[in-house]
Amino acid sequence: MGKTIYRYAVATRLSHWLWVIAFGVLISSGLQIFNAAPYLDASDKSNPARRVLSFDAPSDGVGTTTIFGATFTTTGWLGWTDDGQGGKTARAFPGWLTIPSYQSLADGRRWHLFFAWIAAVCWLTWLISTAIKGNLREMVLMPGDIPKILPMQLYYLKLRKEPPPHGIYNPLQKVAYTTIGFVIAPLVVLSGLALSPGVDAIANPLTWFFGGRQFARLWHFTGMIALIGFFLIHTFQVATQGVINQMTSMITGWYRVGEHEAVES
């Protein structure tokens, strides 16, 4: 039984849980928006010749998913799905995954643009509060952490008895924080902004950087997939590394330090 340390400040905990809500809303309202034009082109303007992904209903009762030219039948899951009102219809993502459940681009945009602000403010709050506390160095992956990633993974997989020595956060946690905070979050925010004709007029190079407006839409979608991937890995890690202790610390701030964890700070 190790001692307990105060690990998460109020701002961190509050932004974390607000972010969880924003995450759910942004994905489900984003899928609602996506349903209005259920295809992604690797180009500036829409161009079927550069289509990477599309969801279609070639006939009533049949849904298909086409990815890089290969078509799969996905009836009921993608392409021909639940209309959110008890029936089935030609619709890329099903009603049980979207906000609102029925087709409404206007309402999807309303939710998405509101929670985009919440997510952005949470991200900035986390970044600033962490930087002020000087924890950024503890959370961001440094060159010295790289050799410790594999041993840490082996420890998680129970192929190694002890974790490599580390600070408050272990090397894999640092990988997670760095990926979400400095790669995925900026990718999602910037590619989303690049979709806006108003932002494009202010900062032409931003939309250009993503390969144009449709390509930015593809990046935005890719960012969502990455977010879901992060979410799955993150919850798996929490579940396997003392779920009660982890959840308690993210709610109360107090974390019980294990016998193997050296507290350097």
Partner 1 sequence: MKRKLFLASTISSALAACSPIGTALNNNEGFHKALGAAQGLNHMAIGTRGLAREYTDADVDRDFRVNGLATPGDSHYQSLVHSNYRGYKLIVDGAVERAHAFPLAQLQKMEQVTQTTRHDCVEGWSAIGKWSGVRLADVLAAVRPRTDAKYVVFHCFDKDESGTSYYESLNLHQAMHPQALLSLRLNDAPLDADHGAPVRLRVPTQLGYKSAKWIARIELVGSYANIAGGAGGYWEDQGYEWYAGI
Among 8, 19, 34, 80, binds partner 1 (CB under 8 A): 34
User: What's the CA gap between 264 and 15, in Å, rounded?
Assistant: 26
Specify the amino acid at residue 263: V
Closer to partner 1 at the Cβ: 179 or 196? 196
Measured from the CB atom, the residue of 124 and 243 that comes closer to partner 1 is: 243
The separation between CA 109 and the C-alpha centre of its own chain, rounded to angstroms, equals 18
State both tokens at 242. 């003392």
Question: Which CB atom, from 100 or from 164, has the smaller least distance to partner 1?
Answer: 100
Which range in 95-103, 128-136, 139-147, 173-181 contacts partner 1 by CB under 8 A? 95-103
Site size toward partner 1 (CB under 8 A) is 52
CB 113 within 8 A of CB 192: no
Residue pair 224/28 in contact (Cβ under 8 Å)? The answer is no
Looking at 19-27, 70-78, 156-164, 181-189, which segment touches partner 1 (CB under 8 A)? 19-27
Task: Look up tokens 């928006």; give the residue.
Answer: 33
- Contact code string over 180-209 relative to partner 1, x by CB under 8 A: -------------x-xxxxxxxxxx--xx-
Orientation angle between helical segments 10-34 and 243-252, nearest 10 degrees: 100
Cβ 106 to partner 1 shortest distance, Å: 4
In terms of CB distance, is 11 or 121 closer to partner 1?
A: 121
Distance CA 51, CA 56 (A): 13
Nearest distance, CB of residue 133 and partner 1, angstroms:
28
| 245 near partner 1 (CB under 8 A) | no
Q: Which residue's CB is nearer to partner 1, number 166 or number 217?
A: 217
Of the candidate spans 37-45, 55-63, 66-74, 150-158, the one that interacts with partner 1 by CB under 8 A turns out to be 37-45
Task: Please report, as residue ranges, which positions from 48 to 67 form the binding site for partner 1 (by CB under 8 A).
Answer: none
CA dist., res. 195 & res. 185, Å (int): 16
Nearest to 242 by CA among 147, 170, 150, 180: 170
Which contiguous run of DSSP H or E holds residue 6?
A: strand 4-6
Which helix (H) or strand (E) segment holds residue 110: the answer is helix 105-133
Residue 119, classed as helix, strand or coil, is helix
Instruction: Report the residue from 2, 58, 105, 165 that binds partner 1 according to the rule CB under 8 A.
Output: 105
**Of the candidate residues 235, 251, 252, 258, the single one contacting partner 1 (CB under 8 A):** 235
Could you tell me the CA-to-CA distances from 143 to 63, 137, 138, 199, 260 in Å, in that order?
47, 11, 12, 36, 22
Q: Which residues bind partner 1 (CB under 8 A)?
A: 24-25, 27-29, 33-34, 36-37, 44-46, 84, 95-102, 104-107, 109-111, 113-114, 116-117, 193, 195-204, 207-208, 213-214, 217, 235, 239-240, 243
